Structure 1
């Protein structure tokens, strides 16, 4: 037991191994400034700096594009994929906005998660967030899943039972 207690500080100072560096790595120091103290009080920097948020910045997500997917009608059909949770794909177009408003309550009832597959501006993101009214919607390209399911239009709901609009 004593040996383990003596080894912990040595292990804690081991060199870090970089697993992946995208080339856009940001230093963590600006995020840690709030924890630095001087005489027991938080250290005041002379000019507050706003750290770059990277992937956490919604502007970095834009534009959201899904090549091969366009707004349009979807014919209801069955599929043989074992999806355990329903999900839907929408864009920021008028058809998607109207569909989201019309189906929002049902989507909430069945626990569906949304994919925003097309958006150009921050206003697009705000509009969908407002219309979602509590539904989880993630910005992502839907091209791969659409291709796998032979879907070429959105808005669309994909559940364990089938594909529908």
Structure 2
């Protein structure tokens, strides 16, 4: 009986030690119902919102029976407050661990992506497609990405938090540049 009791205690201690490790596992999205929510509440860490009214997220209607699995349901991709244009390089003190970039389907973004694709791959940057109107726009970006991860998403909240109003732009752990 003593051995069994000792064994049970060891298993319980090991289980208690593993629970925090499992809780830190990365999130994997298995299903997206199409009811996208704003990330603004999670950006409170980066900016003070005292005195500002809270905005309720606007549900996005599902456009097909496939929901988020249907690329047509993503369109149009729009990011309020973001337009194509020049970006002045500057430092920031945000705790980003992985570089990412915001890009649209406009001519400036397409040229930028072609010119910087190798460097973006080298540094492991992940892209956010913040503007696209048609399936042809999505196909063009996918072709030019040539192996880069680029996800369709609104960049409005992150751009607001970083005081960015133009794209294409690269945000690395140390700075913002074009």
TM-score between both structures, scaled by the size of structure 2? 0.64
Partners of 2:34 and 2:103 lie apart in 1 by: 32
User: Which of these residues, 91, 100, 114, is aligned with residue 104 of structure 2?
Assistant: 91
Equivalent residues, number: 118
Partners of 2:67 and 2:83 lie apart in 1 by: 28
Partners of 2:173 and 2:135 lie apart in 1 by: 32
Equivalent in the alignment of 2:159: 146
User: Which of these residues, 51, 63, 73, is aligned with residue 76 of structure 2?
Assistant: 63
Decide whether the 8 Å contact of 2:90 with 2:175 is kept in 1. yes
User: Which of these residues, 114, 135, 138, is aligned with residue 125 of structure 1?
Assistant: 138
CA deviation vs aligned residue, 1:114-137 (integer Å, no higher than 9, x gap): 000000000000000000000000
Partners of 2:176 and 2:142 lie apart in 1 by: 24
CA deviation vs aligned residue, 1:120-158 (integer Å, no higher than 9, x gap): 000000000000000000000000000000000000000
Runs of 4+ in 1 over 6 A off after TM superposition: none
Unaligned runs of 5+ in 2: 1-32, 36-63
Unaligned runs of 5+ in 1: 1-21, 25-50
Partners of 1:150 and 1:144 lie apart in 2 by: 10
Partner SS, residue 131 of structure 2: coil
Partner SS, residue 89 of structure 1: strand
Partner SS, residue 83 of structure 1: coil
Shift in Å at residue 23 of structure 1?
Answer: 10
User: Which of these residues, 118, 122, 147, is aligned with residue 134 of structure 1?
Assistant: 147
- Which one has the largest radius of gyration? 1
